[in-house]
A and B are shown apart, each in its own frame.
Chain A
């Protein structure tokens, strides 16, 4: 099979970009979308042209590095998979496929299809962790966790931080990502001491990065390669409200420091 690619090309974040159309060489329909781009790039390189820059790493749907908006949907036509798990058999011979970078003010373009997603890292740095000495691995059942909480926490922890939620949302909102990170720690006993401080810090950082607000459109949930539910955004909204009502923790004078 062969496809026509309409790809966004942009030299760097300071120059204007444009769509350019490329004809693919003959493809195996069982190639992943990224392998198809590799083949196209090889041809471009052989012709002495600049290959198309795109993000990729593990290519097995778990690292969250691959991105791309393929035909208007982040991660391609299927639900619950990343771009690296999208195969050429999902397209027809002769299709024109539009490939764009994730579009958001908080995700500036680095080159072509590669965007800077460090805003997510900064949100994580603001509170997406627990402050304990980890030490040696503790005994597995030393801290009991109710099954329902463990299940929900694991659902939230599936987030690979790829940013498809931001890319799909009409408001470029990062709420699903932040909600997943807030919830997966907030549901577990180890996350409790910093639960409300965490949600406030992460939401404040999210706002500072220039992401939009949630209008409950459901786009994020629909494109999430890990199918993370909007329920978690409600959980974050709830925790944020409780955090506001609790106010700042009182400063304790003295102590042994």
Chain B
């Protein structure tokens, strides 16, 4: 049997797939957070970044296809493992949780399912920009002027989008579940690849906890600070006005293009 078929068939091989795809998705989560934290800068900052990404379709689509492959592998392998794991114990015990098990480890499938649902919503919300699900209006109509070009106003989309309480709440809940998922997943990925001994295990667990907390704080801060009207509330007001006058494609903030002359 080839090494690939052994990996996809054996129990340990499947754990390699989970760990490898999980590690790469974790790297994406870090990169995505760094990109998103630019919302705390002036509107031009994240709009320039978004425009830069949009202007490189080969890179963006390459990344999207890569991420899709990773997510599909991560999810299908998780489902296969869960089915096999359930089948390994056809009759359960009369009572009690699994003795001595880390509580996060028992909720990996549940947290994973919610995160997957969140990814679908997040893509529909800010990538496909479906008006029906954002509680605001048609995001595709929000434009701004950047370096003399009319571009999508990502900053306005974010500051408007997270003023809707249930959107902000869903994002925070999803991030909390990602925190649980990563808290167990990062350390377990090291375990699955065998990168651990009695000296490194406490360090790996510390790193996993630290990284998952940092990711949670970073991501949750965005909807929280926008919902609390700490970030971009003036800008959101102007963008909302622009959205009402939906025929208009004029820039939301006239001053935004000032340094581009």
* B-binding residues in A (CB < 8 A): 6, 19, 69, 71-74, 98, 100, 103-106, 168-173, 203-204, 206-207, 210-219, 221-223, 229-231, 233-241, 244-245, 247
Give chain B interface residues in 10-25, CB to chain A under 8 Å.
Answer: 10-16
B91 within 8 A of A: yes
Residues of B with C-beta under 8 A to A168: 98-100
* Minimal Cβ-Cβ distance residue in A for B98: A170
CB A124 to nearest CB in B, in angstroms, measures 18
* Minimal Cβ-Cβ distance residue in A for B100: A222
Residues of B with C-beta under 8 A to A104: 88-89
A103 touches which one: B11, B93, B192 (CB < 8 A)? B93
A237 touches which one: B6, B7, B105, B194 (CB < 8 A)? B194
Residues of B with C-beta under 8 A to A214: 11-12, 15, 191-192
Q: Is the CB of A244 within 8 A of B93?
A: no
Q: Is the CB of B81 within 8 A of A100?
A: no
State whether A237 and B88 are in contact (beta carbons under 8 Å apart), knowing that A169-B98, A170-B98 are contacts in the complex. Answer: no
* A-binding residues in B (CB < 8 A): 3, 6-7, 9-16, 81, 84-85, 87-102, 105-106, 108, 184, 187-188, 190-198, 201
Q: Is the CB of A237 within 8 A of B191?
A: yes
Q: Is the CB of A73 within 8 A of B99?
A: yes
Q: Is the CB of B194 within 8 A of A244?
A: no
CB A198 to nearest CB in B, in angstroms, measures 14
- 20 extra interchain contacts, Cβ-Cβ under 8 A, other than A73-B100, A219-B98? A72-B93, A100-B94, A103-B93, A170-B98, A171-B88, A173-B85, A173-B88, A212-B84, A213-B12, A213-B85, A214-B12, A214-B191, A216-B184, A218-B100, A219-B100, A221-B100, A233-B191, A234-B194, A237-B15, A237-B192
Q: Is the CB of B191 within 8 A of A223?
A: no
CB A5 to nearest CB in B, in angstroms, measures 13
Q: Is the CB of A170 within 8 A of B101?
A: yes
Residues of B with C-beta under 8 A to A247: 3
Q: Is the CB of A211 within 8 A of B191?
A: no
- Taken together as a complex, chains A and B put the C-alpha atoms of A110 and B204 apart, in Å, by 42
Q: Is the CB of A210 within 8 A of B6?
A: no
Q: Is the CB of A239 within 8 A of B194?
A: yes
Q: Is the CB of B101 within 8 A of A217?
A: yes
State whether A170 and B201 are in contact (beta carbons under 8 Å apart), knowing that A207-B11, A218-B100, A234-B195 are contacts in the complex. Answer: no
A212 touches which one: B11, B92, B192, B196 (CB < 8 A)? B11
* Minimal Cβ-Cβ distance residue in A for B199: A231
Q: Is the CB of B88 within 8 A of A211?
A: yes
CB B21 to nearest CB in A, in angstroms, measures 15
Residues of B with C-beta under 8 A to A106: 88
Residues of B with C-beta under 8 A to A105: 87-90
* Minimal Cβ-Cβ distance residue in A for B96: A72
CB B180 to nearest CB in A, in angstroms, measures 14
B13 touches which one: A171, A239, A244 (CB < 8 A)? A244
* Minimal Cβ-Cβ distance residue in B for A71: B96
CB B191 to nearest CB in A, in angstroms, measures 5
**24 intermolecular pairs with C-beta atoms under 8 Å apart:** A72-B93, A103-B92, A168-B99, A170-B85, A172-B85, A173-B11, A173-B88, A204-B10, A206-B11, A213-B14, A215-B105, A216-B184, A216-B188, A217-B102, A219-B100, A219-B101, A230-B191, A231-B201, A236-B12, A237-B15, A237-B191, A237-B192, A241-B193, A247-B3
